[in-house]
Amino acid sequence: MAAALYLDSRYEEALPLLREAGIVYRQAIFIKSRPNSNPSVELDLAWSMQLYSSCLGLTLSFSDAQDNCAQAIDVVRELQSNTTVDTRACLAKLLEGRGRLVQVDSEMEGLRAHSECVEIYRQLAASDPERFEVSLVSSLRNLSCDMASCGDHSQAREMALEAIVISRQLSAGSEVNVAQSLTNLARCLIHSECSFDSIEPLQQAINIYRTLSVSDNPAYQIELESCLSALLFVLDRHARYDEAISLAKESVDMYRQAVRERTSPHDDQFLADWICKHAQYLSVAGRNEEAIEHGAEAIAMYRILLEADRDKPRYSLVISLKNQAQYLSECGRYADAAENAKEAISYLRLLLLGWDRISMDIFDRKLAECLNNYAWYLTHVPGRADYEEAIEAGKEAVSTQRALVEPWEDDEAASLSQELEVDLANYLHTLAHALNLAERYDDAVSLAKESVSICCRLKLDLCVGDKYVAPLIDSLKACRDSLIGSQ
């Protein structure tokens, strides 16, 4: 019963049944003396604990899931018949789950668990390939991901390629396995020095998923969308914007057709997302008038989705509004840009209510960015003489960003700290600019100087200045204007 609920993704209902099964199996083992203990009962206990830990993980109870999985592994290792096929298969499955659960806290511990899992499945597949090669492929994919996360891209690539070779040899469900293995290879390459090499496997996986997505299984549509997004990311990274625009347009057309045919409940969201992405790359190519048109369509779709689900698409609407404000500002329509930025801020404030600290940090950073943009647009609206609203938005942007920078000042995550600081320098410059326009030069000069100081320090620390030249020049101009005005 519990296994059926698990397979039906009814994890909350399965948990109490699995917990009860574990108690019953433990009692059965306890009744027997250890020398005469029935191995099959202990193995049933281990399988029950494996399902239980999986359910705990899927319901986000990670700590309990890790503890339960570790106990189950100990049970299997202690079995007197631990060389039998069923026992080894159970241990491999538990190690696979263990690797996934612990990699959140320790990538190396996850790698060790998945390495042992791969070795067990290699041995099992050698004697019974029909039964265990699918599991071997899955374990190889897990291990390659761990190796890539730990920086061993060469070994990760080797494992991912092995998974592809075996996948192509499988008979049952081979197309799905090949697509998953190709996607896995691409993900191992994307964040390496060979990220360009991820394009070909992604294109192959996309072709397979396009064929599979005509079925009634919505999972294939989700995998297709994931691969398309990954390919778009790589094309963007290598400045292949024309190809990115073509891919985005093709994806928009595909999802328009899917919406008309109602092939999946996710189609409306996917269509809105891809219209938003299409607009972004049109803007990158300098085609901002077209970007505005597509951005408006995405916003309209997100509003409709928001009426149906008051939570799910809200952050997507925020991003779409923020982007639309940027496109409008590029066309000199600062008043319209300010209105879009202001609405994005209102939705972000709602998102900040009731979220966990990690999510709040993400939203706080986006809030600071939107507040800064709003202040900047207001200072550029033609004929506007009152800058108090821009100053207040600028002040909140600076104070929000300072709170984000402080925890990272002494942290080892130098790249994140530098990103946060250069954003702070930009926000200080915007606020100084607004104060200059309001003729509050004395207030502006200290902020402009601080902005200059941050940019100079980052430029010197990194020994490369290109990234920080523009904000440095802007800050120097604001500082100059403040000093001239104060005289």
CB atoms within 10 A of CB 19: 16
Q: Alpha-carbon distance 316 to 303, whole Å?
A: 10
Q: Which of 337, 362, 343 minimizes the C-alpha distance to 303?
A: 343
CB atoms within 10 A of CB 350: 13
- Based on C-alpha coordinates, what's the Rg of the chain? 27
Rounded to an integer, the average pLDDT of 314-319 is 89
Q: Are residues 351 and 337 in contact, defined by beta-carbon separation less than 8 angstroms?
A: no
Q: Alpha-carbon distance 313 to 308, whole Å?
A: 10
Domain ranges of the chain: 1-101
Q: Which of 420, 407, 484 minimizes the C-alpha distance to 448?
A: 484
pTM for this entry: 0.70
Q: Are residues 110 and 139 in contact, defined by beta-carbon separation less than 8 angstroms?
A: no
Rounded to an integer, the average pLDDT of 275-297 is 95
Q: So what's the pLDDT on residue 475?
A: 58
128-162 pLDDT per residue, tens: 988 899 999 999 998 998 898 888 888 999 999 99
Q: Which of 220, 218, 111 minimizes the C-alpha distance to 173?
A: 220
Cα torsion 122, 124, 128, 131: sign:
negative
Task: Return contacts of 460-465, CB within 8 angstroms, 24+ apart.
Answer: 461/418, 462/418
Torsion of CA 128, 130, 135, 141, to 10 degrees: 110
Q: Are residues 305 and 313 in contact, defined by beta-carbon separation less than 8 angstroms?
A: yes
CA distances from residue 103 to 76, 108, 146, 221 in whole angstroms, order as listed: 22, 7, 8, 27
Q: So what's the pLDDT on residue 267?
A: 82
Q: Tokens representing 276?
A: 């938003």
- Of 252-261, 318-327, 434-443, 472-481, the one with minimum mean pLDDT is 472-481
Instruction: Give the pLDDT band (50/70/90) at residue 321.
Output: very high
* Most confident listed range (50-64, 208-222, 372-386): 372-386
pLDDT, mean over the chain:
79
324-338 pLDDT per residue, tens: 999 999 999 999 999
Q: What is the DSSP letter of 35?
A: G
Q: Tokens representing 204?
A: 């192959």
Q: Which of 53, 135, 46 minimizes the C-alpha distance to 91?
A: 46
Which residue matches tokens 């609203």?
389
- Helix boundaries (H) for 285-313: 288-308
* Most confident listed range (80-89, 259-268, 326-335, 378-387): 326-335
What b/e readout covers 356-379, taking b as 16+ CB neighbours within 10 angstroms?
eeeeeeebbbbbbbbbbbbbbbbb
